[in-house]
Amino acid sequence: MEARSRVISSFTIVKGSLIEETYSVFRDWDYSVSKFENLRHVRDDNSIGATSTNWALNVTKVMNRRFDPEGRDRPLVELAKAGCERELWKPLLLYHMTRDEFLVRDFLVNWLFPQFRAGAYRLRTDDVFPYLNGLQKMSGIDWSGSWSDSTLKRVGSGLLRIATDFGLLQGSQIREFASYHLPDESFLYLLHAMVEREANARRVIDAEDWHLFLMGAEDVERALLRLHQFRRIDYEVAGSLAQIKLPAASAADFARELH
C-alpha cells in the first residue's frame, strides 16, 4: 500500500468518516479474494446499501486509500467480522485511519487538541481557515490539487464533522467539545499498538497519538494507574522512569481477545 502520510487531499475529508460504511465492508470482508475483489463487490453489488452507484464508488475509493486490510489494518477487519461493539471499535478506526490520513491526524493533534486545552467553547468552520491556510507553509507536504475558496470551506466543515462523528465534538453548524471518554478496551488496544512501535514507556505516555482522543500525558497516566489498580496491566513509575507490562504480546493478539 502506497503511503499517504504526507499527502493533503480534500477528497477523503469531504467524503467524511464513513464509520458505518467501513464497519459494514469489513464485516463482510472475504480474505479468500483480493482487496480489489472485495471493493469491487462493494461497488458493483452495493453490499453497503448505498443510495447511489456513485456513492458506492466513492466509498470504495476512500477505503482503498485509507486501509490495508491484509496488513496493518487487519485487526480492524477481524473485530468488525466478530461483531465488536461500535463504541469500542470507533476509536480504533480513528487511530488506524489517521496513520496515513495526514490532514485528519494533523487537524486533531495540532489544532483541535490545543483548542480543547485552551478552553475553546464554540467552533465554526471559519475558525479552521487560518489552520488550513497555514499548512501551505509546511515543507514536505504533497498537495493533491489546488483548493478554491469553496473547497477550503468544505474541507474545514468536513474536518469538524469527522471530529463530531467520532464523538469529540457535538452540534452541527456550531460545534462544542463533547464529554469524551475513551473506553478501557479501546485504550488498551491503542496502548498495545503504541508499545509495539515505541518500547520506551515514558515516550508512549507522552505520545501525541493520545491527542487524537483529547488526552494529554496526565490523562494517560491516570488511566494507566486505574487499570493497574484493577490488575488489567502492570504499570510501575518512579520519578521519570516508567514501565508498562501488557496482557497480550501485540495489538493484534489483544484484538483477538476482544472477539
Neighbours of 233 (CB within 10 A): 20
Name which residue leads in pLDDT, 47 or 14.
14
CB-CB contact of 103 with 145 (8 Å): no
Query: Which residues lie closer than 8 Å to 255 by C-beta, 6 or more apart?
Result: 75, 78, 79, 189
Q: Where are the domains of the chain?
A: 1-179, 184-258
Asked if residue 213 has pLDDT above 70, the reply is yes
From 90, 65, 83, select the one nearest 3 (Cα to Cα). 65
Confidence of residue 1 (pLDDT cuts 50, 70, 90): very low
241-251 confidence digits (pLDDT tens): 899 999 999 99
> If you compute the radius of gyration of the chain from its CA atoms, what whole number of angstroms results?
19
CB-CB contact of 47 with 41 (8 Å): yes
Cell numbers representing residue 40 in the block: 469491487
* Average predicted confidence (pLDDT) for the chain: 93
Confidence of residue 53 (pLDDT cuts 50, 70, 90): confident
Q: What is the CATH number of domain 1-179?
A: 1.10.3540.10
Asked if residue 27 has pLDDT above 50, the reply is yes
**What is the H or E stretch that residue 245 is in?**
strand 241-245
- How far apart, in Å, are the Cα atoms of 180 and each of 73, 95, 134, 212, 239? 24, 15, 28, 11, 29
123-154 confidence digits (pLDDT tens): 999 999 999 999 877 777 777 667 889 999 99
> Rounded to whole angstroms, how far apart are CA atoms 195 and 198?
5
CB-CB contact of 93 with 62 (8 Å): no
Share of the chain above pLDDT 70, in %: 97
Asked if residue 85 has pLDDT above 90, the reply is yes
